[in-house]
């Protein structure tokens, strides 16, 4: 055996030993068939969704929202819409109706204590009434068509059948979309024209202390709007702006928003709308059935003097003083 051959043999042995040692390291990167493992750095769905709420990527089509591959939050939104909203919404709205019914049974219609005087005084001008009724009619239309989207399939669908219900819902959808504009117009008018008289004052605390006129024998002083009415104003302002903004996001789907934004917008819209309906149910009750002489304020615009004395004494006093000054002023002959 020559020296050269020995060296060759030693080299082969060293190489073989080296290969044996290297095998486990290589095996980790190769599949059982010897092909390289392309998932060594691969993305798995499970790992990806642990890091991000939804799997997004690149697409070859212009529809950008299609770039979201998987968004498990869809199932969460389904749970919100079908379980939380149905049960919660029904509980709040039926609960409100039940409470108001109970209030009517217990307290009955709140009468004008001193009876009607027969004298009338203007409480709301025509422009104020138009703004109110524009908002009110829009609200009722929006409320009914909105409730139909959420509860229609439970309440109405079994009664009138799928075809008729689908036709009604189709129309209701468009009515809901377009009535939104008149609602927002009315809401903005109301916010502006009633803003000054709804700023909280010191006398409001007194009104609350006196039980807001619900306790017989106690007189609750109030300006043009009492704290109850002010609460309706401010809550309507907040709720109105929330439903309007979220509503327009829904009306313009995916205009600068993504799927999560749309789900949140729908959630806000639905929850606020349910609370808003409950608030306005209370508002409607006290303005019609609940109190004698209240509806006229928004109906003809004129209320009975005794009603004004009982519920808005400070406003009445200021108004009468004002009118007095005006009649005196006009009585002075122009020279």
Partner 1 sequence: MARMKFLCDADRCIDCNACVTACKNENEVPWGINRRRVVTINDGKPGERSVSMACMHCTDAPCAAVCPVSCIYPTEDGIVLHSKDLCIGCGYCFYACPFGAPQYPKVGNFGSRGKMDKCTYCAGGGGAEAPGSAAEYEKYGSDRFGMGKLPLCAEMCSTKSLLAGDGDVIAQIYKERVLKRGYGSGAWGWMTAYHQDIEI
Instruction: Give the residues lining the site for partner 1 (CB under 8 A).
Output: 30-33, 35, 37-39, 41-46, 48, 55-61, 63, 65-75, 77-78, 81-82, 148-150, 152-153, 157, 162-163, 165-166, 169-170, 173, 251-255, 259, 262-263, 266
223 or 266: whose CB is closer to partner 1? 266
67 or 102: whose CB is closer to partner 1? 67
Looking at 217-312, list the stretches that DSSP marks H as alpha helix, in order from N- to C-terminal side. 227-251, 259-287, 295-299, 305-311
74 or 200: whose CB is closer to partner 1? 74
> CA 10 to CA 17: how far, in whole Å?
11
Question: Minimum Å distance from CB 69 to partner 1?
Answer: 4
36 or 118: whose CB is closer to partner 1? 36
Instruction: Residue 218: name the closest of 113, 105, 138, 120 by CA.
Output: 113
Question: Minimum Å distance from CB 289 to partner 1?
Answer: 32
Instruction: Residue 178: name the closest of 142, 202, 214, 140 by CA.
Output: 142
Instruction: Residue 253: name the closest of 239, 241, 265 by CA.
Output: 265
214 or 254: whose CB is closer to partner 1? 254
Cβ distance 246 to 268 under 8 Å?
A: yes
Torsion of CA 147, 149, 151, 156, to 10 degrees: 100
> CA 171 to CA 162: how far, in whole Å?
14
Question: Minimum Å distance from CB 154 to partner 1?
Answer: 10
């Amino acid at each position: 055996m020559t020296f050269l051959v020995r060296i060759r043999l030693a080299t082969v042995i060293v190489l073989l030993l080296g290969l044996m040692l290297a095998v486990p390291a290589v095996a980790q990167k190769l599949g059982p068939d010897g092909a390289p493992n392309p998932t060594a750095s691969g993305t798995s769905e499970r790992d990806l969704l642990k890091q991000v709420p939804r799997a997004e990527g690149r697409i070859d089509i212009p529809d950008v929202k299609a770039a979201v591959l998987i968004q498990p939050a869809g199932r969460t939104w389904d749970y919100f819409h079908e379980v939380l909203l149905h049960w919660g919404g029904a509980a709040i709205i039926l609960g409100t109706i039940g409470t108001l019914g109970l209030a009517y049974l217990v307290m009955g219609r709140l009468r004008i204590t001193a009876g009607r005087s027969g004298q009338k005084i203007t409480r709301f001008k025509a422009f104020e009434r138009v703004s109110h009724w524009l908002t009110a009619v829009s609200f009722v239309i929006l409320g009914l068509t909105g409730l139909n989207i959420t509860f229609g399939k439970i309440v109405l669908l079994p009664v009138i059948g799928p075809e008729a219900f689908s036709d009604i819902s189709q129309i209701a959808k468009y009515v809901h979309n377009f009535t939104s504009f008149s609602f927002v117009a009315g809401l903005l008018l109301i916010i502006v024209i009633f803003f000054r008289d709804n700023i909280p004052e010191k006398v409001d605390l007194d009104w609350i202390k006196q039980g807001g006129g619900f306790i017989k024998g106690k007189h609750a002083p109030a300006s043009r709007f009492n704290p109850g009415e002010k609460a309706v104003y401010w809550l309507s302002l907040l709720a109105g702006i929330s439903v309007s903004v979220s509503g327009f996001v829904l009306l313009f789907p995916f205009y600068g928003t993504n799927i999560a934004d749309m789900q949140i917008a729908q959630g806000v819209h639905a929850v606020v709308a349910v609370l808003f309906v409950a608030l306005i149910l209370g508002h409607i009750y006290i303005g019609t059935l609940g109190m004698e002489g209240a509806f006229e304020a928004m109906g003809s615009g004129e209320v009975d003097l005794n009603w004004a004395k009982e519920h808005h004494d400070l406003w009445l006093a200021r108004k009468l003083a004002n009118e007095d000054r005006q009649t005196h002023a006009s009585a002075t002959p122009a020279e």
